[in-house]
């Protein structure tokens, strides 16, 4: 039985149910090619759900950062290799100019200490450099900022990814109960089973720019 | 036809590296490659399902070093060779032309031998040249996607059309299922190159190697290429070497080649290949002899020039930078919602001088660090003893051995261990005190003079001075100096189960002092004067502006002297309940932060306990003058008191004497008994006047 059924007031999720919910979530993602995958940590039974989203941005944003790096690397060699410079046949110069792309990575992990799923994310440029929170913030549309300020942005922290050991932003799970409890209680009252991951992610995802297509909530079932 | 002279142009790959790749390269370099510069096999992948506007990318991630590992679903793998040099010099001087030629030759010989037909993935080889500066976490890199060239270029016979312009819906859905079947039969989810045959009714596809048998007539063939490009008029890079392969193997027979750049994207569950592009071209023999044709492929840098790229990952890889950014971020989060008006910069940039590195000093330092304060200086003359570490959280048992380390210096070391980004300094020095003579010899006088100068210098170099010593009299000199320099003082003192945390009144800047009549507050002094200026209806101690607030000594009617003389050991040692220093130390810092948040800073009107229900003056709340705590009752009160015109430390007469005579005046204070200051300020007289009254008061109390 799912925790949501027996104890509707509890917002906790055991790890087994977490895995089952993820499996169902991933099945649907696969069928609509929403891009979620299960990333297994090599040599262990641990893993997490991951999705990468690429977003073209105004190059001005990234230019600024490039300049600062370039300034530090004054000694960088750029003129000692010209033998291959005459590749006009390589064509389409136009495409090369606006390569400002941001890569958002979203990871859904299980937290044993909180017994709930936790969303980690980071944004980076195509060269792998991670964006600071200010840079991420500056890419949020101004119309959304006001709304976002009220919501879980205040629980955003920087944390080391527990499985990868790299710095990520994390939506701290301390406020999960606030929005999961009413959702689970309502579902219980209507005698409806919900997939925890779907309900949870559709609340926290949009806050950090992650869309969860509506079909997840209709097509993904809860584990039996 | 104008189009007949059109040359086909390709969109080059854009390298895309995930942070995980750099992390893994760092690990490999440190633990495995070390000084080994030999080429390593790595792998990347590319994708044909991107939304319009994204560049065609070759992506390398964490898993790039696992050359035999899985490729993400519906992505095409590309195998590459990593050349990681040990020095920047080697990176610069590497013969890029030779590397490209070597890779081009491998591709060429695979084409000639037919191996490329069996396994066409060889056509998508890439080269990555790197140098990892692991001290700075700077990475230099240059990608190369080798492409063999046709001397004359490639002539388009028919310009690119989108597939929906060329195919019917029926053909498109037939193509989709034929491609899916090909993937299934080859055991993958993406096929880089395939053959294509179509009629009005249906579309057939086949693996590249079946070219001879698939087409009845080689004069007119069609090929499909998994295309990462999203441009409507141009194919991506992977087509280039495929065309060379076709031309080399069948150029003499091929008349027209039709190319389908297969793009396959799914949005919200709806699949589309309609935006694939299809065009016709004519191929000539790329190299009549067996000599490898010219090749291109080094990636341009971000400026669009031929050159390497670089990325500075210290922010996310250097542990010290990580600690700094995490500390900053956690503080900034307070602003997101809790205290949007919080001016963190004001707090973080405050330079704090901590006089005393004992129980209070340790706790104040830790709380300052919590607030992100970076500039912390300790002054203390003591060594760490065995009893200290349990109460003084910056010290450990080891610090007590062999006589004990200097507290001021050990505290700095520990702060740096806790947070390397801190700018901490320690001074192992004494602060001369009233009633503690310095005139034993010329040497002691010179030492005292030097200590005073040093203290003056330190106070002038900081914004806030914390008085955290264990005696009353050691607070006198810094109180005088800071009052004279108009520096904010935060003072914390402990009893057994009581404490006081206070900010000293901050005297007005000198200019305005000169413009206003001096006599108003000093010469016509009587203890009643201040009350006259307080607005009617409010009590004596409400709404006192910061410049009229008292200091630690203002409430005292005896001058500081040697408080440790003639006392038993338990009286000399400051024995207090262990939690008290943490409470008082934390409150001292929080008081400083609240003062800094007030627009008037140290001149802010003192909040009192009565203000607890009113609109707070800062985003953080009240800005009291004093916090007096009583641990036995677990209670705090917020009294405010006026500067006392007979104060032995901050009264005008003391400051005037100090400013006029300097060390001479101070030496007199150090060397004399407390009567010197009491006589100077008029306290002696006050004592005589009030003695009788006091006696009566006290006896009244006792009788109750």
Distance (Å, whole) CA B579 – CA B587 = 12
How large is the ipTM? Answer: 0.81
Which candidate from B17, B297, B325 shows the least CB-CB separation from A128? B17
Cβ of B16 within 8 Å of Cβ of A103? The answer is yes
Structure tokens at B210: 């079946």
B76 DSSP β-pair partners: B46
CA distances from B66 to A93, B43, B69, B70, B100 (A): 33, 7, 5, 9, 23
Distance from CA of B674 to the nearest CA of A (A): 55
Q: What is the pLDDT of residue A110?
A: 95
pLDDT at A81: 42
B5-9, B34-38, B182-186, B690-694: segment of lowest average pLDDT? B690-694
Tell me the residue ranges of DSSP E strands in B525-648. 626-630, 635-637
> Is A130 near chain B, with CB under 8 Å?
yes
* Per-residue exposure over B219-253, b if at least 16 CB sit within 10 Å of its own CB, e if not: eebbbbbbbbbbbebbbbbbbbbbbbbbbbbbbee
**pLDDT band, very low/low/confident/very high, at B9 (cuts 50, 70, 90):** confident
Q: Identify from B316, B319, B320, B341 which residue to disrupt to test chain A contact, counting A C-beta atoms within 10 A and taking the largest count.
A: B316
- Rounded-to-integer distance, Cα A48 and Cα A46, Å: 7
Q: What is the pLDDT, as a whole number, of residue A62?
A: 52
B546 to chain A, any CB pair closer than 8 A? The answer is no
Q: Provide, as residue numbers in chain B, all residues whose Cβ is less than 8 Å from the Cβ of A129.
A: 19, 311-313, 315-316
**Taking 60 as the threshold, does the pLDDT of residue B250 lie above it?**
yes
As a 3-state breakdown, chain B gives helix, strand, coil percent values, each rounded to 5, of 40, 20, 40
Chain A interface includes B21 (CB < 8 A): yes
Q: Which residues of A touch B72 (CB under 8 A)?
A: 37
Taking CB atoms within 8 Å and a gap of at least 24, the contacts of B519-528 are: B521/B645, B521/B652, B522/B645, B522/B651, B522/B652, B522/B653, B525/B645, B525/B646, B527/B644, B527/B645
Residue B56 in this model has a pLDDT that exceeds 80: yes
Average pLDDT of the residues in B360-383: 96
Residue with tokens 């200010």: A134
- Of all residues in chain B, what percent carry a pLDDT higher than 90? 65
B320 touching A (Cβ < 8 Å): no
Shortest Cα distance, chain A CAs vs residue B87, angstroms: 13
Q: How many CB pairs under 8 A join A and B?
A: 183
Q: Is the pLDDT of residue B569 over 90?
A: no
Residue in chain B closest to A216 (alpha carbons) equals B268
Average pLDDT, chain B: 88
Statement: residue B101 has pLDDT above 60: yes
Report residue B180's pLDDT band, with 50, 70 and 90 as the boundaries: very high
Active site residue B573: yes
Instruction: Find the CB nearest B316 among A103, A130, A150.
Output: A130
Identify which has the larger pLDDT, A92 or B552. B552
**A202: its two tokens:** 């559709």
- Taking alpha carbons only, the member of B672, B582, B688, B702 closest to residue B631 is B582
A15-32 helix and A196-204 helix, angle to the nearest 10 degrees: 70
Instruction: Annotate B284-336 with DSSP letters as a single string.
Output: --S-SSSSPPPEEEEPB-TTSSBS-EEEE-HHHH-HHHHHHHHHHHHHHHHHH
- Judged by a CB distance cut-off of 8 A, whether residue B269 touches chain A is yes
Beta-carbon-side half-sphere exposure of residue B207 (alpha carbons within 13 Å): 15
Residue B53 has a pLDDT of 86
- Alpha-carbon span B265 to B271, nearest angstrom: 6
**In this predicted structure, which of A133-142, B243-252, B417-426, B444-453 has the lowest mean pLDDT?**
A133-142
Whether the pLDDT of residue A143 is over 70: the answer is no
A82 at the B interface (CB within 8 A)?
A: yes
pLDDT tens figures, B66-97: 988 889 989 999 999 999 999 999 999 999 99
pLDDT in tens, B314-356: 888 888 888 887 787 778 777 766 787 889 999 999 999 999 9
Helix %, strand %, coil % of chain A (to 5): 45, 20, 35
B302–A87: do the CB atoms touch at under 8 Å? no
Cβ contacts of residue B200 below 8 Å, gap of 6+?
B168, B171
Q: What is the DSSP letter of B422?
A: -
Give the Cβ contact number of residue B183 at 10 Å. Answer: 16
For A56, the closest of B53, B311, B312 (CB atoms) is B53
Q: How far is B237 from chain A (nearest CA, A)?
A: 9
> Per-residue pLDDT averaged across B366-387, rounded?
96
Q: Name the residue with higher pLDDT: B65 or B216.
A: B65
Q: Which residue of A has its CA nearest to B240?
A: A90
Does the CA dihedral B563-B565-B566-B569 come out positive or negative?
Answer: positive
> Are the beta carbons of A91 and B11 separated by less than 8 Å?
yes
DSSP structure string for B189-229? S--SEEEEEE-SS-EEEEEGGGHHHH-S-TTEEEEEEE---
Residue B300 with chain A: CB contacts under 8 Å? 96
Residue B486's pLDDT band (cuts 50, 70, 90): very high
Token pair in block for residue B662:
């300097």
A83 closest CA partner among B245, B144, B89: B144
pLDDT at A36 over 50: yes
DSSP string for residues in A101-170:
EEEEEEEEEEETTTTEEEEEEEEE-TTSPBPPHHHHHHTS-HHHHHHHHHTGGGGEEEEE-TTT-SEEEE
Q: Are A215 and A32 in contact (CB under 8 A)?
A: yes
- Give me the long-range contacts of B516-521 (CB less than 8 A, separation at least 24): B518/B652, B521/B645, B521/B652
B503: helix, strand or coil: strand
Tokens of A216: 């997840």
Angle between helices B476-485 and B663-671 (to 10 degrees): 160
**Minimal C-alpha gap between B316 and chain A (Å):** 6
B575 CB within 8 Å of a chain A CB: no
- B48: CB partners within 8 A, 6+ apart: B74, B76, B190, B226, B227, B228, B262, B263, B264, B265
Structure tokens at A93: 């110069």
In chain A, residues with a C-beta closer than 8 Å to the C-beta of B11 are 91-92, 95
Q: What is the pLDDT of residue B164?
A: 94
Is A213 in contact with B268 (Cβ distance < 8 A)?
A: yes
CB contact under 8 A, B269 and A213: yes
Q: What is the pLDDT of residue A93?
A: 34
Q: Which residues of chain B have a CB within 8 Å of the CB of A158? A: 325-326, 329-330
With 50 as the cut, is the pLDDT of residue A78 above it? no
Cβ atoms within 10 Å of B547's Cβ, excluding its own: 18
Q: Indicate the pLDDT class of residue B525, thresholds 50, 70 and 90.
A: very low
Determine whether the interchain pair A73/B310 forms a contact, defined as Cβ–Cβ distance below 8 Å: yes
Strand, coil or helix: B565: coil
- Name the more confident of B703 and B455: B455
**What's the whole-number mean pLDDT along residues B591-605?**
96
- Listed residue (B434, B423, B499, B522) closest to B472, CA to CA: B434
Please answer yes or no on whether A128 and B301 come within 8 Å at the CB atom.
no
Question: Has residue A202 got a pLDDT over 70?
Answer: yes
pLDDT at B65 over 90: yes
**Residue range B25-46: mean pLDDT, rounded:** 93
Report for B311-315, B501-505, B542-546: range of highest mean pLDDT:
B501-505
Q: Are B233 and B160 in contact (CB under 8 A)?
A: yes
Contact B15 A126 (CB under 8 A): yes
Largest distance between two CA atoms of chain A: 73
Predicted local confidence at residue B696, as pLDDT: 53
Contact of B348 with chain A, judged by CB distance below 8 Å, is answered with no
> Would an 8 Å CB–CB cutoff place B12 in contact with chain A?
yes
User: Residue B182's pLDDT is what?
Assistant: 96
pLDDT band at B262 (very low <50, low <70, confident <90, very high): very high
Per-residue pLDDT at B489 exceeds 90: yes
In this complex, is the C-beta atom of A164 within 8 Å of any C-beta atom belonging to chain B? yes
**Region B442-448 average pLDDT:** 94
Contact B12 A92 (CB under 8 A): yes
């Amino acid at each position: 039985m799912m925790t949501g059924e027996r104890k509707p007031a509890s917002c906790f999720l055991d790890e087994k149910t977490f895995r089952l919910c993820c499996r169902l979530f991933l099945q649907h993602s696969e069928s609509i090619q929403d891009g979620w995958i299960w990333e297994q940590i090599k040599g262990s039974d641990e893993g997490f759900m991951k999705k990468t989203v690429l977003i073209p941005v105004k190059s001005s944003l990234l230019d600024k950062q490039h300049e600062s790096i370039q300034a530090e690397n004054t000694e960088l060699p750029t003129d000692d290799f010209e033998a291959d410079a005459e590749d006009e046949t390589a064509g389409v110069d136009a495409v090369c100019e606006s390569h400002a792309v941001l890569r958002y990575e979203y990871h859904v992990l299980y937290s044993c200490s909180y017994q709930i799923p936790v969303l980690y994310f980071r944004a980076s440029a195509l060269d792998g450099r991670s964006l600071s929170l200010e840079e991420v913030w500056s890419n949020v549309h101004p119309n959304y900022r006001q709304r976002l300020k009220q919501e879980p942005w205040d629980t955003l922290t920087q944390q080391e990814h527990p499985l990868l050991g790299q710095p990520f932003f994390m939506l701290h799970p301390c406020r999960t109960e606030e929005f999961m409890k009413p959702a689970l209680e309502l579902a219980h009252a209507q005698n409806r089973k919900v997939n925890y991951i779907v309900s949870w992610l559709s609340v926290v995802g949009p806050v950090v720019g992650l869309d969860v297509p509506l079909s997840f909530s209709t097509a993904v079932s809860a584990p039996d | 036809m104008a189009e007949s002279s059109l040359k086909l142009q390709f969109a080059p790959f854009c390298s895309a590296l995930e942070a995980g790749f750099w992390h893994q390269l760092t690990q490999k370099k440190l633990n495995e490659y070390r000084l080994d510069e030999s080429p390593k096999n790595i792998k990347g992948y590319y994708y044909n399902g991107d939304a319009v506007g994204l560049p065609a990318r070759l992506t390398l991630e964490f898993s790039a070093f696992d050359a035999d590992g899985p490729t993400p679903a519906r992505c095409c793998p590309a195998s590459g060779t990593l050349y990681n040099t040990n020095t920047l010099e080697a990176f610069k001087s590497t013969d890029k032309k030779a590397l490209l030629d070597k890779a081009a030759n491998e591709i060429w010989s695979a084409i000639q031998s037919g191996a490329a037909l069996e396994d066409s993935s060889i056509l998508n080889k890439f080269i990555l040249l790197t140098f990892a500066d692991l001290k700075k976490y700077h990475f230099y890199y240059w990608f190369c996607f080798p492409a063999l060239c046709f001397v004359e270029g490639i002539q388009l016979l028919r310009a690119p059309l989108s597939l929906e312009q060329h195919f019917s819906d029926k053909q498109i859905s037939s193509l989709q299922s034929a491609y899916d079947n090909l993937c299934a039969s080859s055991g993958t989810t993406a096929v880089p190159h395939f053959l294509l045959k179509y009629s009005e009714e249906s579309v057939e596809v086949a693996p590249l190697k079946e070219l001879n048998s698939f087409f009845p007539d080689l004069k007119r063939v069609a090929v499909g290429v998994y295309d990462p490009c999203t441009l409507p008029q141009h194919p991506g890079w992977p087509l280039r070497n495929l065309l060379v392969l076709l031309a080399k193997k069948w150029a003499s027979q091929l008349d027209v080649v039709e190319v389908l750049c297969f793009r396959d994207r799914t949005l919200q569950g709806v699949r589309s290949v309609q935006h694939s592009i299809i065009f016709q071209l004519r191929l000539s023999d790329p190299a009549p002899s067996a000599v490898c044709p010219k090749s291109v492929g080094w990636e341009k840098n971000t400026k669009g020039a031929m050159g390497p790229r670089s990325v500075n990952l210290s922010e996310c890889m250097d542990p010290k930078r990580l600690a700094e950014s995490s500390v900053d971020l956690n503080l900034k989060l307070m602003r997101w919602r809790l205290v949007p008006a919080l001016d963190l910069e004001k707090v973080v940039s405050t330079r704090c001088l901590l006089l005393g590195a004992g129980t209070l000093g340790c706790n104040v330092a830790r709380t300052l660090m919590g607030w992100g304060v970076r500039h912390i200086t300790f002054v203390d003359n003591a060594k760490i003893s065995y009893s200290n570490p349990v109460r003084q959280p910056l010290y450990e048992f080891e610090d007590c051995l062999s006589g004990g380390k200097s507290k001021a210096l050990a505290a700095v070391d520990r702060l740096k261990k806790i947070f390397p980004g801190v700018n901490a300094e320690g001074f192992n020095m004494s602060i001369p005190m009233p009633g503690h003579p310095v005139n034993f010899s010329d040497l002691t006088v010179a030492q005292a003079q030097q200590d005073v100068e040093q203290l003056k210098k330190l106070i002038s170099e900081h914004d806030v001075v914390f008085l955290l010593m264990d005696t009353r009299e050691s607070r006198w000199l810094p109180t005088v100096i800071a009052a004279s320099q108009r520096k904010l003082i935060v003072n914390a003192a402990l009893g057994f189960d009581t404490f006081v945390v206070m900010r000293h009144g901050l005297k007005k800047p000198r200019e305005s002092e000169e413009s206003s009549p001096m006599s108003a507050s000093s010469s016509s002094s009587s203890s009643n004067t201040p009350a006259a200026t307080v607005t009617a209806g409010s009590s004596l101690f409400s709404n006192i502006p910061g410049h009229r607030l008292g200091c630690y000594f203002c409430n005292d009617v005896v001058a500081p002297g040697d408080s440790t003389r003639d006392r038993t050991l338990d009286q000399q040692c400051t024995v207090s309940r262990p939690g008290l220093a943490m409470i008082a130390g934390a409150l001292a810092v929080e008081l400083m932060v609240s003062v800094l948040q007030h627009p008037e800073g140290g001149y802010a009107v003192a909040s009192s306990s009565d203000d607890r229900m009113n609109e707070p003056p800062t985003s953080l709340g009240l800005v009291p003058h004093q916090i007096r705590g009583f641990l036995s009752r677990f209670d705090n009160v917020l009294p405010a008191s006026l500067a006392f015109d007979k104060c032995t430390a901050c009264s005008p007469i003391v400051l005037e004497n100090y400013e006029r005579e300097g060390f001479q005046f101070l030496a007199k204070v150090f060397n004399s008994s407390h009567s010197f200051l009491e006589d100077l300020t008029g306290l002696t007289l006050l004592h005589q006047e009030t003695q009788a009254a006091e006696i009566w008061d006290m006896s009244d109390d006792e009788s109750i």
